Amino acid sequence: MPDPDQETALGGRDTLLLTRLADGARGLFARARDLRTSFQKSPILATAAAFSVLAALYWLLIASDRYVSEADVIVQRTDTGAHAAPDITSILSGDTSGNRHDQLIMREYLLSRGVAAQLDKDLNLSEHYSAWTNDPISKLSFSNSQDEFYEYFLSRISVEYDEYSGVLIIRSQAYSPQMAQNITAQLVAAGEQFMNKSAQDLSKGQIAYLEEQVANLNRRAIAARKDVVNYQNRVGIASPAGEAEAIGSIVAELEARNTQLQTELAAKRAFLVDSHPAIVALEQQIAAVNAQIEQENQRLAAPQGGRLNAKIEEIERLQARAQFAEDVYRSAITSLEQLRFESTRTIKKLSIIQAPNLPQTAELPERLRQTLVYSLLAFLLAGVAQLIAMIIKDHRD
C-alpha cells in the first residue's frame, strides 16, 4: 500500500510547482500589460517595436540567401623590356611592377554598362535577379529598365583593387552558387579579353602608322637614288670623283715631265747658246707641258662653269641624301618587323591567383547582424523622436 506521508509530499511539490508557474505567468502578463500601456502612451516606441519585429521577420525568415563567388587576379605584361619607370604614386603605394594603371583600367571596364549588358545577354541575369523565388525586397523588379538593371548590377558586383598586394578582387553575388561562380568567371574572361584587345588595338594602330611611314620613306629613298642617276646622266659622268682622281694623276705625270724638261734645259744652257735648236726644242716642249697642265687644271676648277669639283660636291651631296634616306628606310623596316612580331603575342596576361570558387554556403545576408542593426536603429530614432517630443511638450507647458 502507498505511504500516506509520501503521497502528501508529492502532492505538496506539485502544488508548489504549479504555484510558481502561475506566478511566472502572472508576471509575464503583467509585464506585457506594462509594455502595452507604455506603447499606448508612446506611439513612437510602439512604431519602433513594430518595425523591429518586421525587420526580424524579414531578415530571419523571408530574406533570400545570396551566394558570393570571389576571384583574385593580377594583370602582368609579357614584354618585360617595355616597362616604364615607376611614378611617385606607385612607389608610395608599394607597387613598382607597373601594372597598377592596367588593373584600375580593367576595374572600370568590368563595372561598365557594356559588361553588364553582355553578362545579361550571356547569363540572362535579369531573369535570375528578378525570379519570383527571390524575396520581394532584395530582388530586381520585373519592370526594370536598363538603368535600373545597371544600378542593381553594381549593387551585386564588386571589383576592388588591393593597394597593398596589388591584386584585383572580383566578387559576385547571386541567388544560386552556380550563377555566382558563372558571373565571376565571365568577369575574369571579359577582363582578360579587354586587356589583350586594347593592347592589340594599340599595336595595330602603331603598325598602320609605321607602315604608312615606311611607304613614304621608301618613295623618298627611290627618289633620292633617281636624283643621283639623273645628275650623272645630265653631266655625262658616272663618277666625278673617279674622273678627278684620273685628272690628278695626269697632272702629276705632267708635272714630273715638266720638272725633267726643266732640268734638261738648265743642263744644256750651260754649254749651248739660247738660239741653239736643242734649247729651242726643249723650251717648246716645256711650254706644251705647261699648257697641258693648265688645261687639266681648268677641267678640275675652271673660272667659268663646268668645274669638276662642283660636280663632285653636287653628286656627293645627292649620294649622301640617298644614303641617308636608305638608312632611315632600313631602320623603319626593322622597327616595323619588330612591332609586328610583338603584336603577334599576348602583351598583357591575366594571372589568376584564385579561380572563381563555387560557394558552398550563403554568405549573405548576415541575418542576425542585420536584425540587430535595424532594431537598434529603430529604437535609436524612436528615442531621438521621443526626446524631441518631450522638449516640445515642455515648451508648450
Instruction: Report the alpha-carbon distance of residue 211 to residue 201 in Å, rounded.
Output: 15
Instruction: Report the alpha-carbon distance of residue 219 to residue 388 in Å, rounded.
Output: 87
Q: What one-character DSSP code corresponds to residue 83?
A: P
**How many CA atoms does the CB half-sphere of 334 hold within 13 Å?**
6
Q: What is the mean pLDDT of the chain?
A: 77
64 membership: H or E segment, kind and range: none
CA dist list (Å): 314 to 303, 328, 345, 372: 17, 21, 48, 94
Place of cell 682622281: 245
Tell me the three state secondary structure of residue 379.
Answer: helix
* Domain boundaries, given as residue ranges, for the chain: 1-41, 42-61+367-397, 62-209+346-354, 219-343
Does residue 30 surpass a pLDDT of 60? Answer: no
Grid coordinates given for 202:
594599340
Helix (H) and strand (E) counts for the chain? 12, 4
Does residue 265 surpass a pLDDT of 60? Answer: yes
Which positions ≥6 away from 176 have C-beta within 8 Å?
67, 128
Instruction: Report the alpha-carbon distance of residue 141 to residue 276 in Å, rounded.
Output: 133
Q: What is the pTM of this model?
A: 0.59
pLDDT per residue as tens digits for the range 155-178:
999 999 998 888 999 999 999 999
- Average of per-residue pLDDT across 318-342: 81
Place of cell 743642263: 267
Q: Give how far the C-alpha of residue 46 lies from the chain's centroid of Cα atoms, to the nearest Å.
A: 56
The CATH code belonging to domain 219-343 is 1.10.287
The pLDDT, as a whole number, for residue 91 is: 41
Which positions ≥6 away from 274 have C-beta within 8 Å?
none
Q: Confirm if 77 and 348 have CB atoms less than 8 A apart.
A: yes
